[in-house]
């Protein structure tokens, strides 16, 4: 089937010869045929380049971009510079698309949305079932055309693979991938905050292979790159400041700062914890709007940010006598009971 609107599909490739042909063929075999397939060989040292050349001989829609290794975001940026379509899609070279993906989502083109989102099917490399947390994170909570407010944005995953972006918007605002791990987050959030609406499909059209050696797998264990979660937040803040888009999103941005601070702390290696604490303080001090929503506190050997809320006198008085609450002690979460502000019981909260 040849559609009326062309889609540029960008596939960054780095040493994925085991998965590459299946991934690219999932695009070649799409029932929607009006595609530009841009494969960016990011300095692969295995047989990936040869696979791409062989597939290109089969399908003239394939464009191969050769470059020195610069990382996933840099390869995607190179693909964006080559893309010639209004609609841009991203596919990682170990993932696949359902064969009718673009045919299904092309049904939204007539609505002229700013963004198109669809579902992700998580495929565990180990063969086990995806976790409940994965299924929840990648679930699509909306259907059809939806206005993008902060609630909708917060309830939409930050992945780029299950979305179609308008290149005109990306170019107008200069939205590109940063050279950090977890680069999807600032890219997607910058785009969300630059547009007004999105069209949602609940079908699971993107098959995401969760490999044990992937970047995402490293997200959930101790890593020196955990600080990049905070860097991503700072990149987002700088972008919104530059384009005067921050004001209407401040409550969400404060919540994101708090969440990503804890994400950085939780998955950092121990000897980088102080660097993360200091970096968070610099961001907090730099962006005054955060002070309207959060207060910085230091207690029980833990530096944390607490959401500001109005305190009533009676509530404060009762808490001085007796309280049951969550507290952080040496960066671990506990359920704590205090009597006359003296801790009489504490129990660690299981890691989620």
What pLDDT shows up at residue 343? 80
**pLDDT tens digits, one per residue of 300-347:** 899 999 998 755 555 555 555 667 777 777 777 888 887 767 787 888
Q: What is the pLDDT of residues 86-132, one digit of tens each?
A: 999 999 999 999 999 999 999 999 999 999 999 999 988 766 777 78
| Chain segment 189-202, per-residue pLDDT in tens | 999 999 999 999 99
Residue 215 has pLDDT above 60, yes or no: no
* For residue 271, pLDDT beyond 70: yes
Q: pLDDT above 70 covers what percent of the chain?
A: 91
Please say if the pLDDT value at position 349 is more than 90: no
> Mind listing the pLDDT tens digit for each residue in 142-185?
999 999 999 999 999 999 999 999 999 999 999 999 999 999 99
Task: Supply the pTM of this predicted model.
Answer: 0.87
Tell me the two tokens of residue 244: 């005067």
What residues have CB less than 8 Å from 71, skipping those under 6 apart?
Answer: 42, 179
Mean pLDDT computed over 45-65: 98
Statement: residue 282 has pLDDT above 90: yes
User: How high does pLDDT run on average in the chain?
Assistant: 91
| Angstrom distance (rounded) from CA 139 to CA 128 | 19
CA atoms within 13 A on the CB side of 238: 12
User: Dihedral, CA atoms, 232, 235, 240, 242, nearest 10 degrees?
Assistant: -170
Q: In this predicted structure, what is the pLDDT of residue 334?
A: 82
pLDDT tier for residue 136 given thresholds of 50, 70 and 90? confident
Q: Where are the domains of the chain?
A: 7-213, 224-348
Average pLDDT over residues 30-42: 98
Using CA atoms, how far apart are residues 9 and 64, in angstroms rounded to an integer?
A: 12
pLDDT at 168: 98
Picking from 154, 253, 149, the residue whose alpha carbon sits closest to that of residue 198 is: 149
Q: CATH number for the 7-213 domain, one of 2.40.10.170, 3.30.360.10, 3.90.550.10, 1.25.40.340?
A: 3.90.550.10
Residue 103 CB burial class (10 angstroms; 0-12, 13-18, ≥19): middle
pLDDT over threshold 90, residue 13: yes
| Four-residue CA torsion sign, 289, 197, 152, 121 | negative
Residue with tokens 């950090």, as numbered in its chain: 180
How far, in Å, CA of 55 to CA of 37, rounded?
Answer: 11
Assign 3 a pLDDT band (cuts: 50, 70, 90).
low
Distance between CA atoms of residues 44 and 51, nearest Å: 11
pLDDT at 255 over 80: yes
pLDDT at 1 over 50: no
Phi and psi torsions of 319, nearest 5°: -65, -30
């Amino acid at each position: 089937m040849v559609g009326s609107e062309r889609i540029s599909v960008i596939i960054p490739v780095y040493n994925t010869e085991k998965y590459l042909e299946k991934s690219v063929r999932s695009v070649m075999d799409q029932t929607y045929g009006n595609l530009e397939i841009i494969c960016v060989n990011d300095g692969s040292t295995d047989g990936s380049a040869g696979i791409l050349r062989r597939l290109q001989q089969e399908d003239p829609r394939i464009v191969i971009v050769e470059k020195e290794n610069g990382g996933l975001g840099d390869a995607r940026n190179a693909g964006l510079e080559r893309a010639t379509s209004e609609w841009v899609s991203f596919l990682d070279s170990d993932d696949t698309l359902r064969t009718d993906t673009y045919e299904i989502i092309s049904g939204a083109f007539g609505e002229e949305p700013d963004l198109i989102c669809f579902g992700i099917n998580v495929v565990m490399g180990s063969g086990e079932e995806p976790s409940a947390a994965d299924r929840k994170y990648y679930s699509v909570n909306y259907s059809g055309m939806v206005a993008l407010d902060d609630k909708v944005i917060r309830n939409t995953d930050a992945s780029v693979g299950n979305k179609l972006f308008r290149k005109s918007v990306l170019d107008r605002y200069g939205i590109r991938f940063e050279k950090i791990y977890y680069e999807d987050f600032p890219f997607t959030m910058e785009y969300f905050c630059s547009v007004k609406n999105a069209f949602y499909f609940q079908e699971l059209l993107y098959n995401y292979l969760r490999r044990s050696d992937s970047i995402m797998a490293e997200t959930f264990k101790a890593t020196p790159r955990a600080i990049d979660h905070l860097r991503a937040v700072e990149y987002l803040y700088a972008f919104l400041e530059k384009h005067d888009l921050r004001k209407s999103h401040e409550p969400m941005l404060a919540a994101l700062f708090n969440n990503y601070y804890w994400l950085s702390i939780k998955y950092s290696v121990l000897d980088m914890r102080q660097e993360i604490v200091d970096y968070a303080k610099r961001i907090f001090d730099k962006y005054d709007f955060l002070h309207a929503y959060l207060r910085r506190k230091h207690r029980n050997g833990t530096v944390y940010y607490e959401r500001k809320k109005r305190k009533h006198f009676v509530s404060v008085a009762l808490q001085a006598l007796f309280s049951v609450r969550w507290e952080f002690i040496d960066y671990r979460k506990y359920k704590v009971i205090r009597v006359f502000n003296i801790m009489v019981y504490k129990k660690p909260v299981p890691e989620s």
